[in-house]
Structure 1
Amino acid sequence: MSARVPWFGIAASAGLLAGVVACLWLPTLAPWPVRAVCMAAGAALALRKPGLRWLGLALVGFGWAGLHAGWVLSTQLPARLEKRELAISGRIVDLPQSEPRRTRFQFRVDDSQNQLPELRGKRLQLAWYDDYDAVELGPRTQLRAGARWRFNVRLRAPRGLRNPGGFDSERYALAQRIAATGYLVDAETARQLAPPSGLQAWRESESARIAKGTPAASSRFVRALALGDTRFLDDADWQVLRAAGLTHLIAISGFHVGLVAGFCALLGAGLWRLFPVFARRMPRPQVAAVSAFVGAAGYAAVTGFALPTLRTGLMIAVVVVARCGRRPLRALDALALSLIAVLVCDPLSVLAAGFWLSFGGVAWLVWCLPGERTRSLWREFLSAQGVATLGLLPLTVVLFGQASLVGPLANLGAIPWWSLVVVPLSLFGTGLDVLHAGWGDWAWKLAAACFEPSWQVFSAMARSRFALYWMSEPAWYALPLALLGAFWLLLPRGVPGKALAAMLWLPMLWPDRDLPEPGAVQLTVIDVGQGLSVLVRTHDHALLYDTGPAVPDGFDAGERAVLPTLHALGVARLDRVVVSHGDNDHAGGFQAVQRGMPVLDSLTPAGSPVPARHACAVGQVWEWSGVKFRFLHPTPHFPYLKNEASCVLRVESAHGAALLTGDIGGVIERELVRRAARDLRADVVLAPHHGSGGSSDPAFVAATQAKVAIVSAGYANRFGHPRPQVVERWREAGAEVLNTADSGAITVWLDRHGPGVRERRRWQARLWDAAALRGD
């Protein structure tokens, strides 16, 4: 007979977690009757079969997560309301982030009869744009957290780019319960209905007070640590934090919540020691526990109830309940009970990286470190840092695709200094300012003064060539193998085979880069929205054709899409970058690519505004690893005519050819048919000009005899690309037409196995992008 499994033990929590993860990582969501039956059957099994309680809770987790995900997805904006101008009113529910040409904010629509039923009470992610040619900032800078406004907007269901190594904005929207994203139209009709009020308004005003009372450059970090206001950290700041492995200390984390809770516990216990008579009403341990919970809840409120603070607050609440009930609770039991509480309250929290890092870090520490102090405080701190570094490295690589080699050293200084000096001073100043305006200025200034020298040190460390190491995207089995290796390495010293355990890290640290064989070629059309970027890889070389769009002071596809894809595919340098012409949707990301990766050579048409080293022209030919590259256009002395001057590149392998066409139109297409018809024959063709109506001339389409035609276009773009008649023209000629808007990144192999195609959205399908697969 199997042993009885406790309701709130480690086995029960592991079973519940396994069920939640299994549900959310399926490619599609199970029908709701299946989810409901799983919950009912799991609950019955857990009640009637104590030995199989873990399995019953796994079924409960599967059904519970599925019901949550199904409800959130059902609340997203229906397709019939997309592209329509809608009038909405509601409240700004977070701190608006103002940039030189736009302001982004989250908005909750009023739950009233005056709103569309599909939008009532929904959370939206909105942007208020200025005209790109505007110089002065518009009234959007007057947006304040907690204020009520009326806007005219255009919305769409959450939709993002899908690339190797890229940020999954659709998963983020699901976890944050965002029903739609959009932007304001007719900004002059926007009206404020009520002034700022509530917690978010207080946070924004307090952040402004810190900026006014602390003129030092480090005041932006004081605001981040005291209030969770990271709006004023720029890209350079985040780059330093990532390279030094310190992001978790700036973004309000569970550690900060625990620090505040511990201080409040000590304060409550100290007060009871000063006045022992109070113990007649309530024992000191219970007072310390309640004080810790009050402190954690208060800090979570001050930081805007960010998800990491809520998770930690819930964990502390579990411990407080056990302590107030005078029940003994081991650290491992507290962790299991906290995990169950988080999954019951929010099963979608497993979609956030912070969930795995927080619970994973605590689990490693609980398992590896002794429960009672047997060594000095400093040795315990070093041991904890070593355990956390080794145990969380596999998760960090999988979640972020990078590892900081100087991170462990930087954390040795940052954790005690920032968390025990800078954070307490920042919070103390905020508390004093609440009591009386201006009282907290000295504490904020002292916090900034203490922070500044350490920032200089960590910035120097981040500039080291050993700082940040980008990792290729590993296979699915690399994470469990690496975790098993970490587990084995952290076993007691006498356990044999630790050198062999280190071998289990190899699939993660040195994954297969899936390079083509000599004579073969691989093309990856990166999903950059309304633009173009194609990575061409041979066995030994890499070429990038175009770099995607970049909006001034906004989205830069070179930084957000192209570079993450290159890192995930293991590209360490680019032997050549070809920018087909100077239009923004093809050349906008060029500078970001140059900053982020070594570029040995670059080409663009003569007369193009792109600062490339050489000009592309007919007659330029080179060969890499048995693959021949040749420009078919422009001819020498061809005037720069933007689209019509695009570099047309033919890539010819031993197993087939590909044609990269830029934005050429019908005139140039017909000229190519007349001048070089035989050179146009290709297995894979990039449809010219994103499939516009003025391109893909019938004679050109027929001359290519393409098997695959790829369109790089943005979802629901305002140009209507690709045009239906163009798509039909390619299909009638026998080509399969693929669009990055539907497929995400598209990878094509031209090798001895014949042309092979992989669409990112279908190859790694997730239930939160099922609407995209349906073509809604």
Structure 2
Amino acid sequence: LNGLIATGYVRDASAARSLGTSALCVDALRARIARAIATALPAGDAATPLLQALAVGDQRGLNEAHWRVLRATGVGHLIAISGLHVGLAGIVGALLVYAFTWLWPRVLLRWPRRVLAAPVALGAAWGYGALAGYGLPTVRTLLMIAVVAWASTRRRGVGGMQTLALALLAVLVFDPLAVLGAGFWLSFAGVALLVYALQAGRGWRAWLAELGLAQAVMALALLPLTVLLFGQASRVGPLANLVAVPLMGFVIVPLTLLASLMLVAGLPGGVAVTRFAAWLMRVQWDLLQHMAAWPWALAWLPWAGAGAFVLACIGVLWMLAPRGVPARLLGLPLLLPLLWPQQQRPVVGEFQAWVLDVGQGSAVLVRTARHALLYDAGPRYRSGFDLGEAAVVPSLQALGVRHLDRLLLGHGDADHAGGAAAVLATYPDTLLQGSEPERTGLPLLPCVRGQRWHWDGIEFSVLHPGIGDAVSGNESSCVLAVRGRGGTLLLSGDIGARSERAVARDWAANNQAGTQPLVLLLAHHGSRFSSSGALLD
């Protein structure tokens, strides 16, 4: 949760009392607008959660399918209320002042137009920022507008970099922990590189050219940071933004805000405006879904190292340098180490293993020279939070796993098999094996002692359970040994002390002690009912 710094609890619930509510409560107004939008549209309308997110920053209706499309097309910044939307609110406020002074020009005898427009634009932007919930991009833009408004009233010029630097300082003073969020770096880096790369032009042709160029600049400028933070990049992002930014920013967002105002005020025509905005949103969303479905839309990029990241940043700065800097295209080759990293795969006879951090659960990746196996898929909780989707799949993608040969589920508990659906959605051709298929609901090949297979000089062998073993639950866990030239890895699932004794006897009978290093992943997460002396000794 963004902005969540600490947690606590109430010791004595009887002492808690309501402090009351206010008719001017911003959160209540946001909820009222969200409900009004939902009421104005037919039940189940695909545009409802998108318009609610645009109007008041309410993203609760957006599901994983929405975010998948937004990631693949690189337009997630348009759904979250960002600097673009807040800036538009400020522009609308300034235009209202300009219209007022055009109708009553005598006002200009006492105050210049820009002095009048500055506080109104700032007030409109801050009002919309309150409805948006003051996210980091919103706060950044509000602070920049405040600096420009202050400079306008003082009749002083202020540069783009100066404005951005003051906004950065203010954010860090009031929220030092903002540096821990990806949005902080993407937000300020993106605006800084826009100021660095673009030059102001005059006339509508220059404005349109700058709009198109801005999308190319943002796609290129944030590429190194996007790969660093997320391990992925949208190939269709520049094209999607070129279409979506004008339609969203200058048509759908203003219509949505106008509809919200009309609905809350009870003005006639509010429902019609809402439905027109929803129709436009559905048209655009259908286009984005089509682009996201392209096989090459989203590129997962394994981490190439700090050196490649630094080279890519230098290349971006070189290519975005102001006019007059020679040979700017020579910065392009500096991006290649980041975009096409060298994969460090084990040689034949050796293997690599990663124990993934999935909290109270299990997920282990084993790679040979040309194959990959995943032992367990991480947990999925009753709340719907899926570590398979949130941690396992991104880790596999970051490690460059393009094909997963086998998914072996130790047994059916949710902390071992809960993330399997997310893994299979990304790697649908994976062979499934494991215990307790009736609990997982998956067509698992049985996991039985004595099974063996070889990949690239590496032996995989199942040590438990046996064919006739009357076991279930934790005791039915599939125990896997991976043996290579450099040592052996033993994955013991959730077996208890009784099964550990059986595995230890079988291991002692079939393996000569002391010939190879042995790495043991403790059974049942190190439970006191497992990891007995029989296995550890």
Matched with 1:273 is 102
**Structure 2 counterpart of 1:338, from 122, 146, 167:** 167
Q: Do the aligned residues in 2 keep the contact of 1:607 with 1:640 (CA within 8 Å)?
A: no
Matched with 1:220 is 49
Are 2:471 and 1:636 equivalent residues in the alignment?
Answer: no
Aligned ranges 1:544-583 → 2 under 5 Å? 544-583=374-413
Letter aligned with residue 583 of structure 1: D
Q: Separation in 1 of the partners of 2:259 and 2:508?
A: 74
Matched with 2:213 is 383
Matched with 1:507 is 337
Aligned ranges 1:20-99 → 2 under 5 Å? none
Are 2:367 and 1:540 equivalent residues in the alignment?
Answer: no
Q: Do the aligned residues in 1 keep the contact of 2:319 with 2:330 (CA within 8 Å)?
A: no
Structure 1 residues 405 and 618, CA, compared in 2 at 3 Å: closer, same or farther? same
CA drift at 1:558: 0.8
SS of structure 2 residue aligned to 1:609: helix
Matched with 1:263 is 92
**Structure 2 counterpart of 1:519, from 341, 345, 349:** 349
Aligned ranges 1:668-683 → 2 under 5 Å? 668-679=499-510, 683=518
**Structure 1 counterpart of 2:521, from 683, 686, 692:** 686
Matched with 1:209 is 36
Are 2:181 and 1:373 equivalent residues in the alignment?
Answer: no
Per-residue deviation, residues 221-266 of structure 1 (Å, max 9, x unmatched): 1111111111111111111111111100001111111111112111
CA drift at 1:196: 4.4
SS of structure 1 residue aligned to 2:410: coil
Structure 1 residues 380 and 311, CA, compared in 2 at 3 Å: closer, same or farther? closer
Q: Separation in 2 of the partners of 1:673 and 1:221?
A: 57
**Structure 2 counterpart of 1:666, from 485, 497, 502:** 497
Structure 1 residues 185 and 585, CA, compared in 2 at 3 Å: closer, same or farther? farther
Matched with 1:328 is 157
Aligned ranges 1:396-407 → 2 under 5 Å? 396-407=226-237
SS of structure 1 residue aligned to 2:385: coil
Q: Separation in 2 of the partners of 1:600 and 1:185?
A: 49
Per-residue deviation, residues 480-516 of structure 1 (Å, max 9, x unmatched): 2111101222346775555642222133212344433
Are 2:262 and 1:432 equivalent residues in the alignment?
Answer: yes
Q: Separation in 2 of the partners of 1:319 and 1:462?
A: 38
CA drift at 1:672: 2.2
Per-residue deviation, residues 304-330 of structure 1 (Å, max 9, x unmatched): 222221111011000110111001223
Letter aligned with residue 211 of structure 1: A
**Structure 1 counterpart of 2:485, from 654, 658, 666:** 654
SS of structure 2 residue aligned to 1:180: coil
SS of structure 2 residue aligned to 1:615: coil
Q: Do the aligned residues in 2 keep the contact of 1:398 with 1:474 (CA within 8 Å)?
A: no
Matched with 2:116 is 287
CA drift at 1:685: 0.4
**Structure 2 counterpart of 1:359, from 173, 188, 191:** 188
Q: Separation in 2 of the partners of 1:214 and 1:578?
A: 46
Aligned ranges 1:125-274 → 2 under 5 Å? 176=3, 178-180=5-7, 193=18, 196-197=21-22, 198-215=25-42, 216-274=45-103
Q: Separation in 2 of the partners of 1:520 and 1:291?
A: 68
Are 2:304 and 1:474 equivalent residues in the alignment?
Answer: yes
Per-residue deviation, residues 622-671 of structure 1 (Å, max 9, x unmatched): 22222211111122344451222211111111011110011111221212
Q: Separation in 1 of the partners of 2:83 and 2:121?
A: 13
Are 2:318 and 1:488 equivalent residues in the alignment?
Answer: yes
Further displaced range: 649-658 or 263-272: 263-272
Structure 1 residues 424 and 603, CA, compared in 2 at 3 Å: closer, same or farther? same
CA drift at 1:338: 3.1
Q: Do the aligned residues in 2 keep the contact of 1:581 with 1:608 (CA within 8 Å)?
A: no
Q: Relative to total residues, which structure has the larger helix share, 1 or 2?
A: 2
CA drift at 1:336: 3.2
SS of structure 2 residue aligned to 1:662: coil
**Structure 2 counterpart of 1:458, from 275, 288, 302:** 288
Q: Separation in 2 of the partners of 1:398 and 1:243?
A: 17
Matched with 1:77 is none
Structure 1 residues 688 and 346, CA, compared in 2 at 3 Å: closer, same or farther? closer
Q: Separation in 2 of the partners of 1:539 and 1:277?
A: 80
Q: Separation in 2 of the partners of 1:554 and 1:598?
A: 21
Structure 1 residues 499 and 333, CA, compared in 2 at 3 Å: closer, same or farther? closer
Spell out structure 1 runs of 4+ moving beyond 4 A. Answer: 184-187, 189-192, 492-500, 678-682
TM-score by structure 1 length? 0.64
Gaps of 5+ in 2: none
Letter aligned with residue 699 of structure 1: A
**Structure 2 counterpart of 1:308, from 137, 147, 152:** 137
Letter aligned with residue 476 of structure 2: A
CA drift at 1:371: 2.2
Q: Do the aligned residues in 1 keep the contact of 2:365 with 2:373 (CA within 8 Å)?
A: yes
Q: Separation in 2 of the partners of 1:520 and 1:210?
A: 59
Further displaced range: 624-633 or 320-329: 624-633
Are 2:242 and 1:417 equivalent residues in the alignment?
Answer: no
User: How many residues of Structure 1 are paired with residues of Structure 2 in the alignment?
Assistant: 527
Q: Separation in 2 of the partners of 1:459 and 1:181?
A: 41
Matched with 1:54 is none
Q: Do the aligned residues in 2 keep the contact of 1:606 with 1:616 (CA within 8 Å)?
A: no
SS of structure 2 residue aligned to 1:193: coil
SS of structure 1 residue aligned to 2:354: strand
CA drift at 1:591: 0.9
Structure 1 residues 468 and 679, CA, compared in 2 at 3 Å: closer, same or farther? farther
Q: Separation in 2 of the partners of 1:541 and 1:557?
A: 23
Per-residue deviation, residues 677-699 of structure 1 (Å, max 9, x unmatched): 25576521011122222222212
Aligned ranges 1:614-625 → 2 under 5 Å? 614-625=445-456
Letter aligned with residue 347 of structure 2: E
SS of structure 2 residue aligned to 1:651: strand
Q: Do the aligned residues in 1 keep the contact of 2:356 with 2:362 (CA within 8 Å)?
A: yes
Q: Separation in 1 of the partners of 2:169 and 2:12?
A: 47
Q: Separation in 2 of the partners of 1:565 and 1:698?
A: 33
Are 2:416 and 1:589 equivalent residues in the alignment?
Answer: no
SS of structure 2 residue aligned to 1:282: coil
Letter aligned with residue 214 of structure 2: A
Q: Relative to total residues, which structure has the larger strand share, 1 or 2?
A: 1
Q: Separation in 2 of the partners of 1:345 and 1:667?
A: 57
Q: Do the aligned residues in 1 keep the contact of 2:36 with 2:260 (CA within 8 Å)?
A: no
TM-score by structure 2 length? 0.91
CA drift at 1:274: 1.4
Q: Separation in 2 of the partners of 1:556 and 1:181?
A: 24
Root mean square deviation of aligned Cα: 2.5
Further displaced range: 196-205 or 246-255: 196-205
Further displaced range: 495-504 or 456-465: 495-504
Q: Separation in 2 of the partners of 1:320 and 1:556?
A: 45
Letter aligned with residue 308 of structure 1: P
Further displaced range: 327-336 or 233-242: 327-336
